[in-house]
Amino acid sequence: MRILVTGITGYVGGALAPRLLDDGHDVRGLARDPSRCAVPGVPCVRGDAVSGAGLDEALEGIDVAYYLIHSMEPGNDDFAAREERSAENVAEAAAGAGVERVVYLGGPVPQDAPISPHLASRLKVEQTLLDALPGSVALRASVVIGARSRPFRFLVRLVERMPFIPLPPWSQARTQPIDGRDMLAFLARAAVVEEAAGRSLDIAGPDVLTWGQMIEGIRDSLILGRPGVRLPVSVTGVASRVAAAIAGEEPEFIATLMGSLGHDLLPRDQEAPRVLGVRPRRFDRAVEHALGEWEEMEPGSVAAR
């Protein structure tokens, strides 16, 4: 199968492309800067989904395209408008090129609570792609536990660098994190499983955890004595800037991430493992593997353990 991976210079795209090669697919990448496409055996086309440049060339002869383009920083332009333009451009070009399926990785949607601008934008992209190409597949994932996952790295840095673990009210919201290895397995299967066509599926690990429990689980894996301290109120704007400074992250990224918290983000059902044939791993195994992989990639960068 001939597959295009957009966002190939990012965490998910860069990890997925080798997996697709191992599965026997012919893989091509799309990147604004092809020199950053460092996956051996994968040619990259220069292009930009927001402007539409390069999409026709990248999609020529493609059977399945992965849409892995996300914006977590609002920036000077409205990030939701950028994401909408990108999705519309890719959908139009893919339909014109005769692409059979687009596989999209988005985020979960709260069932009985207001939706954040970040997650609302993900849902809009999902709807745009499914409407334009009926055979497409949308996967919704919460926190990905992986060595290159920015939310996971952010949590690890907070645990390492704070003398205690602050637990504001939003830390009691529940979600189901997913092992990065399982996320890749779900994505790879979504390209070839016929039953998945036209569906939106929630992918998640088996453990229902609060954000506080996740942070404490990371603390325990790091073997650090960081007591949890419950805070009576959330001051998201100030907290996001302080947390970003402590973790060495971009404030806009952390503000957008925190803006999605406060309500449960749980799967609508457990259909994805059955449909796609993936058995997700437990949270503690995911954390141990991610920390070990991080240490291999960047020796000495994880202070504890």
Burial pattern 134-145, b for ≥16 Cβ within 10 A else e, equals eebbbbbbbbbb
Give pLDDT, residue 274: 97
Nearest-angstrom CA–CA distance, 257 and 165: 18
Please determine, for residue 79, whether its predicted confidence score (pLDDT) is greater than 70.
yes
- CB-side neighbour CA atoms (13 Å) of 91: 21
- What DSSP letter does each residue of 173-209 carry, written as one string? -EE--EEHHHHHHHHHHHTT-GGGTTEEEEE--S--E
Q: Which residues pair with 138 in a beta bridge?
A: 104, 200
C-beta of residue 106 within 8 angstroms of C-beta of residue 65:
no
Q: What letter would DSSP give residue 3? A: E
Phi (first) and psi of residue 75, to 5 degrees: 65, -160
Distances (CA, A) of 53 to 30, 45, 64, 74: 10, 10, 19, 22
Q: For the residues 179-188, what does the mean pLDDT come to? A: 98
Nearest-angstrom CA–CA distance, 207 and 293: 21
Q: For the residues 166-176, what does the mean pLDDT come to? A: 87
How big is the chain by its Cα radius of gyration, in Å?
A: 19
Note the pLDDT tens digit of each residue in 92-140: 999 999 999 999 999 999 988 788 888 999 999 999 999 999 999 999 9
Note the pLDDT tens digit of each residue in 259-305: 777 789 999 999 999 999 999 999 999 999 999 999 999 888 775 54
Give burial (CB, 10 Å; 0-12/13-18/19+) of 217: buried
